[in-house]
Chains A and B, each alone.
Chain A
């Protein structure tokens, strides 16, 4: 028999997973050592961020001049000498320097790699080989090593040797998302913005980093079983392509290319953004029962039986959807997003009708919910001061992820890491520094 719990589910879940209680709990990746060699690439750093949030010791290895990614920042804005893009993904990482291009730097890296469980790198295939530091050349030193490589075209296949750096914008273009994302071409009102449109954030880089973390974890589990490390090869555009619903399947099944249709939808409608009194809001009620409920809430019950709109197939036809859009906006334009939400919540119906305001980041920033949940956190870093960053998105009862510190300057942890792993003392480090190796 099932026991009846004495607290509500919500209370139990909050007590068990509130990030405020994280610090006293164990970490899933405690003891796992990661070397992150990403250069000029935030995607690789997303992978190491995730591993670090779960407790791995992540060592960022930069060239002595510092990673050029420290300068990837909106309109050139720097915070205490570091760009905002880097600042956000430097969390929990130790920062050391090493000149991989020099033979001495290479031999030091060969020593370091014996201590690592995981290496993350984002060089174009071939670059590390020329320094004698590719996985193929290092795996004998550490057969348990897991090597995560992120590159635009991946490490095998006909285009693998294309010598281009891996950037978010090129990854987004190749992914297939950009092609069908954006405003629909309107022959009557053409506009220069009716073109394939990218996602605003570094979506492909981040998606690549998440997939690498997934692959690294699968490799760690396999290593537990086999004792064997391996190469994990991730191409960010392939990672984002996997997220494109029926994009490829539709072409295979029907020869149909998925095209740009603005905020309309080929499979579910209404399921779109609509103009309202104070901006835009999302509005959905796409099954027949949901649409009937929405029509009722709108005070337009006849729409549900209107022969233009009375089936899913009709509503998802683009021309019909555009007509229905006019009806929806005639209603929504009279209310604020909040008023629309209230009307939906007051309605006693049960079929899903879903709505909510399209928030700007500043509006999202001002909502209490995200702070209560730890999705946004104000981190007080001893070197970078108080900065708001996004927290780990998972709430976990036993091994909650966490942010410990934000960032460190170039080479900040040289002394500690080189002493800990290679036993290098002060005078040896001084010597290496004098010769520009670290």
Chain B
């Protein structure tokens, strides 16, 4: 696949990295088995990222309703599925297992005995208290287990009990929201589940660390991840600034106050980001603006001067004035021609139609056995020797019961029937979000037993 890499092709590896040859490469996490008992985004997305790189993820849901995220969708359901649920659950095996029941707990332990990783995002300690399935119980059946517990505020500490959490509470508690809006305006909820998603990625990375360590030592471990602390970690220079100055970091709207100039401006036909913090870039921007003399202005002639608060503000106005008189494409082109960074503000349709993102599999089209033609954001790191991929999107509750309990665990038909009769193993309830699309005829089931 990287044959083209042997000759430097202007810095890119264009031909080597095609979607076509990608599927012939092995996945880096092949052979890693993950059992997920999660809801919403923080736990499930962590498992999804591992599944996109080849881990076998068994997603355990409480039947018949399953994950709450199945009912969180903008406007309508799509083919009986939730648009919020699909992007969080790629390439997983979905089982409906009621861990409230003792029989369900027994089967869960059998799964864990065969797994490498458990991921959950229930309230702190609930796995142990409610189900007897906490880390301390599960390591008895699997001593080298890696167990990831994701929450809002962690497993211990002042906020760990009695405070429920959601993504936007983490945005609020961490300080993230208070710096992400215009001065003098109300705080803004960043309108994606940003603490969940970043937390899923950070915590999945810790799982990989633990797997790497386990390969060397055979030892598993327990990981406590709090999404509010993840957002705190992502707030760049905020804490050093507050600590040194003893005063707040103020919101600054669309301006980056640590680089100058760097901001998102309104153009004649949209919004465009411009950044030219280094001296050569700034000189290039001045040329593009037709004001080359600004580069020698004592207020702006070097990186340090441009960051002085008054100069920062004056320069912001000057660049903003220039952008306001131009079309977005002109600004972007000027950046490429002259040598500064400029990029337009893209929307979902721009992504969907973008040939570059399609060629990179960042926008990934695939044929899903249940939902048919599907388009989702693809695996993020592009790996030349062991790339990730999307094979299928989320599935109805209990879709893979037969495969997981019958084939993987090897439970015999009588035992499975008994578990079904007890209500420990079940499939989807008859409601949108949980059930398959109306025209579905059994496509994609890995093993079908008679009588279904």
Cα of A170 to Cα of B342 in the assembled complex, Å: 6
**Secondary structure dominating the interface of B:** mixed
Cα of A50 to Cα of B222 in the assembled complex, Å: 18
Question: Which of B162, B211, B343 is in CB contact (< 8 Å) with A174?
Answer: B343
Query: Are A390 and B233 in touch, CB under 8 angstroms?
Result: yes
Question: Which of A73, A201, A228, A265 is in CB contact (< 8 Å) with B235?
Answer: A201
Any chain A CB within 8 A of the CB of B300? no
Query: Are B386 and A218 in touch, CB under 8 angstroms?
Result: yes
Contacts of A238 in B (CB 8 A): 357, 360, 362, 377, 380
- Which of B8, B179, B211 neighbours the largest number of chain A CB atoms within 10 Å of its CB? B8
Chain B residue with minimal CB distance to A220?
A: B212
Question: Which of B198, B256, B274 is in CB contact (< 8 Å) with A207?
Answer: B198
Query: Are A222 and B385 in touch, CB under 8 angstroms?
Result: yes
Contacts of B202 in A (CB 8 A): 210, 393-394
Cα of A71 to Cα of B360 in the assembled complex, Å: 33
The smallest C-beta distance from A222 to any residue of chain B, in angstroms, reads 4
The smallest C-beta distance from B91 to any residue of chain A, in angstroms, reads 14
Query: Are A201 and B383 in touch, CB under 8 angstroms?
Result: no
Query: Are B377 and A244 in touch, CB under 8 angstroms?
Result: yes
Query: Are A345 and B257 in touch, CB under 8 angstroms?
Result: no
Cα of A174 to Cα of B273 in the assembled complex, Å: 9
Any chain A CB within 8 A of the CB of B423? no
Contacts of B186 in A (CB 8 A): 263, 273, 275, 280
Any chain B CB within 8 A of the CB of A97? no
Contacts of A260 in B (CB 8 A): 191
Any chain B CB within 8 A of the CB of A114? no
Query: Are A2 and B137 in touch, CB under 8 angstroms?
Result: yes
Any chain A CB within 8 A of the CB of B445? no
Contacts of B162 in A (CB 8 A): 345
Cα of A139 to Cα of B279 in the assembled complex, Å: 33
Question: Which of A179, A254, A268 is in CB contact (< 8 Å) with B76?
Answer: A254
The smallest C-beta distance from A290 to any residue of chain B, in angstroms, reads 10
Any chain A CB within 8 A of the CB of B13? yes
- Which of A14, A28, A127, A163 neighbours the largest number of chain B CB atoms within 10 Å of its CB? A28
Tell which of B153-161, B286-294, B400-408 binds the partner. B153-161
Query: Are A201 and B74 in touch, CB under 8 angstroms?
Result: no
Question: Which of A126, A153, A206, A271 is in CB contact (< 8 Å) with B236?
Answer: A206
Tell which of B92-100, B170-178, B410-418 binds the partner. B170-178
Chain A residue with minimal CB distance to B279?
A: A68
Cα of A220 to Cα of B214 in the assembled complex, Å: 13
Cα of A169 to Cα of B252 in the assembled complex, Å: 13
Cα of A218 to Cα of B380 in the assembled complex, Å: 12
Query: Are B189 and A272 in touch, CB under 8 angstroms?
Result: yes
Query: Are A263 and B188 in touch, CB under 8 angstroms?
Result: yes
Binary interface profile of B, 304-315, with partner A (CB < 8 Å = 1, else 0)? 100111001000
Cα of A210 to Cα of B203 in the assembled complex, Å: 10
Question: Which of A8, A267, A354, A387 is in CB contact (< 8 Å) with B244?
Answer: A387
Query: Are B236 and A201 in touch, CB under 8 angstroms?
Result: yes
Query: Are B240 and A154 in touch, CB under 8 angstroms?
Result: no
Query: Are B155 and A273 in touch, CB under 8 angstroms?
Result: no
Query: Are A173 and B385 in touch, CB under 8 angstroms?
Result: no
Any chain A CB within 8 A of the CB of B58? no
Question: Which of A245, A354, A357 is in CB contact (< 8 Å) with B84?
Answer: A245
Query: Are A164 and B336 in touch, CB under 8 angstroms?
Result: yes
Contacts of B258 in A (CB 8 A): 72-74, 83-85, 202
Query: Are A375 and B179 in touch, CB under 8 angstroms?
Result: no
Cα of A160 to Cα of B382 in the assembled complex, Å: 13
Any chain A CB within 8 A of the CB of B375? yes
The smallest C-beta distance from B431 to any residue of chain A, in angstroms, reads 13
Chain A residue with minimal CB distance to B74?
A: A266
Any chain B CB within 8 A of the CB of A21? no
Contacts of A197 in B (CB 8 A): 180-182, 188, 253-254, 264
Binary interface profile of A, 1-44, with partner B (CB < 8 Å = 1, else 0)? 01101001111111011100000001011000000000010100
Tell which of A99-107, A299-307, A363-371, A424-432 binds the partner. A363-371
Any chain A CB within 8 A of the CB of B210? yes
Cα of A216 to Cα of B270 in the assembled complex, Å: 37
Any chain B CB within 8 A of the CB of A92? no
Q: A214-B205, A230-B385, A394-B202 are in contact. Are A79 and B7 (CB under 8 A)?
A: no
Query: Are A199 and B169 in touch, CB under 8 angstroms?
Result: no
Cα of A249 to Cα of B375 in the assembled complex, Å: 6
Query: Are A165 and B360 in touch, CB under 8 angstroms?
Result: no
Contacts of B212 in A (CB 8 A): 28-29, 217, 220-221, 224
Contacting residues of chain B (175-221) with chain A, CB-CB under 8 angstroms: 175-182, 185-194, 197-198, 201-206, 208-213, 215, 217, 219-221
Any chain B CB within 8 A of the CB of A331? no
Any chain B CB within 8 A of the CB of A399? yes
Any chain B CB within 8 A of the CB of A392? yes
Contacts of B185 in A (CB 8 A): 183, 191, 193
Query: Are B209 and A217 in touch, CB under 8 angstroms?
Result: yes
Cα of A247 to Cα of B140 in the assembled complex, Å: 42
Query: Are A160 and B14 in touch, CB under 8 angstroms?
Result: yes
Query: Are B264 and A198 in touch, CB under 8 angstroms?
Result: yes
Query: Are B190 and A199 in touch, CB under 8 angstroms?
Result: yes
Any chain A CB within 8 A of the CB of B359? yes
Contacts of B158 in A (CB 8 A): 368-369, 372
Could you list 19 A-B pairs, sorted by A, with CB under 8 Å? A16-B222, A77-B241, A84-B244, A88-B237, A157-B17, A200-B176, A200-B179, A207-B234, A210-B198, A219-B383, A230-B384, A231-B5, A233-B382, A247-B351, A263-B186, A355-B169, A361-B235, A395-B155, A398-B220
Q: A156-B360, A229-B385, A376-B239 are in contact. List 14 more A-B contacts (CB 8 A).
A: A9-B155, A87-B237, A129-B11, A193-B185, A230-B386, A251-B348, A253-B78, A258-B347, A273-B189, A361-B242, A391-B229, A393-B202, A398-B213, A398-B221
The list of the 3 closest CB pairs from A to B, nearest first, reads A215-B381, A126-B11, A388-B243
